[in-house]
Structure 1
């Protein structure tokens, strides 16, 4: 009797297993894992050092690079770092080593010319500074501002801004033609019309000075030094580029309304411009 019960139990097990294997509910079904979008990460590396060249001259050097561990496209990375530094290693360690190398080369170049600097009339502190700043990352458009400044004698130091926007969807630097088809001469007219919309803050004895009061050019070029937000396209000009040094750097806004009818449809949709 026990053998019969055992046989029946075993038989039931095989029947159940067979039914389960051919269950139509499970046929053709596979499990898939949903991968979340990779998080955008920004890091940075810095170097800050100084050296005494002579009894009358000290030199300070500082530099800061942003690091983007999640960006893998080499062409895009080359563009972010201007492609002229021979960078092959975009890791944090690689960029830190580059900054150290550039610092050493800068100090060496000053020391090489130290014979001509031995007879400075008074003690001087020279400097060279470079900074990358992430200004925004909206709609996968990443805006980076690059600021270079230095003082190596003379009446005043010098500084220069570079504005660059990168399309993280298409791995490229944004060009003006990606935004608008506005003809060059018409854009120049808009820039001249809007020159005083954002004052540089320069003042004299009678109050604030208009940007147009210090222009050195008759035509303001639509340069590659631009960025944008949800309201305007902005062109940024460094000292001496279009105006006297005393005017400082000048930013000229061009509204989307000014560019109506010339905006790239894809850009317009992506930026949600009405």
Structure 2
């Protein structure tokens, strides 16, 4: 039954993504920094609640979803809320109702577990499920959203992960790697392996040098769909256990535009003003 709870705890994020108990809150509407899209606004809904399961066990649930009142394209919205195809109503009220239902299902699954499953819990513990969406940037018609999820259901440590998605608002679609570069994936993967130690994930040697490569669990780093970019680089983000041991944490690997020179999509290069 604990395995079932684990799936429920992370499914909203990985299938991917402060209020008092019982309260919900929508955050203040934000405007993006893209001057060409001044009418584009972002709102949010959030649930933060907890219940007592046994004398020693408390379960907490937190979920935050962004709301895009000016986006109307259903296919684009389906892609933004990819965590669960049960989301049909993209309004603020609809998304609030969705995460309230997710909370109720999580608490129900915890309460319905038999007492034997919790018999070995002899000291106070807080098991939790936490999933969030965060708008990282909206520039040149490209909107980057980071989805994070974490959970703890006993054991040595909690679990967490990231999903990065970029949406082409001009063309109303999720951006694919092929929309950025025509470089074959095997060549990108060779660059990823070469650049594995360029950004510190927290794994260093005694001299302070980044040693992500020493924690790798794979022979080849995949050029995955978990990417984003800025004016300098394309970045691939890997969650714990995806390519390296948990102790390495999450790892981000940059690939510079110079390394992709000659393979960049013409429209993408123009919109991002890459020389």
Distance 1:259 1:42, change over 3 A: same
1:236–1:249 CA contact under 8 A, matched in 2: yes
Distance 1:51 1:81 in 2: 27
1:148–1:161 CA contact under 8 A, matched in 2: yes
User: How far off its partner does 1:84 sit?
Assistant: 2.6
User: How far off its partner does 1:38 sit?
Assistant: 6.7
Task: Output the TM-score relative to the length of structure 1.
Answer: 0.84
The one-character-per-residue Cα deviations of 1:235-269 (angstroms, maximum 9, x if unpaired) are 00000000110000000000000001111111111
Distance 1:205 1:113 in 2: 46
The one-character-per-residue Cα deviations of 1:126-178 (angstroms, maximum 9, x if unpaired) are 11100100000000100000000011100000001000000001110000000
The one-character-per-residue Cα deviations of 1:168-204 (angstroms, maximum 9, x if unpaired) are 0111000000000111111110000000110112356
SS class of match (2:273): coil
The one-character-per-residue Cα deviations of 1:104-140 (angstroms, maximum 9, x if unpaired) are 0000011122421134232211111001000000001
Query: Does 1:127 find its partner at 2:128?
Result: yes
Which residue does 1:196 correspond to in 2? 197
SS class of match (2:198): coil
Runs of 4+ in structure 1 over 4 Å off = 203-209
Q: Which has the higher contact order (CA 8 A, sep 6+)?
A: 2
Distance 1:155 1:37 in 2: 46
Query: Does 1:187 find its partner at 2:188?
Result: yes
1:232–1:256 CA contact under 8 A, matched in 2: yes
Distance 1:220 1:258 in 2: 17
1:238–1:249 CA contact under 8 A, matched in 2: yes
Distance 1:76 1:83, change over 3 A: farther
The answer for unaligned runs of 5 or more in structure 1 is 1-35
SS class of match (2:41): coil
Distance 2:160 2:209 in 1: 22
Task: Output the TM-score relative to the length of structure 2.
Answer: 0.84
Distance 1:241 1:113 in 2: 30
SS class of match (1:54): coil
Which residue does 1:90 correspond to in 2? 90
Which residue does 2:52 correspond to in 1? 52
Which residue does 1:269 correspond to in 2? 270
1:191–1:252 CA contact under 8 A, matched in 2: yes
Which residue does 1:77 correspond to in 2? 77
The answer for unaligned runs of 5 or more in structure 2 is 1-35
Distance 1:206 1:155, change over 3 A: farther
Which residue does 1:107 correspond to in 2? 107
Pick the structure with greater CA Rg. Answer: 1
The residue correspondences of 1:125-274 to structure 2 (distance < 5 A) are 125-203=126-204, 207=208, 209-274=210-275
User: How far off its partner does 1:86 sit?
Assistant: 1.4
SS class of match (1:105): helix
Distance 2:130 2:206 in 1: 32
Q: In the comparison of the two structures, how many residue pairs are matched? A: 239
* CA RMSD of superposed structures (Å): 1.6
SS class of match (1:159): strand
1:201–1:208 CA contact under 8 A, matched in 2: no
SS class of match (2:261): coil
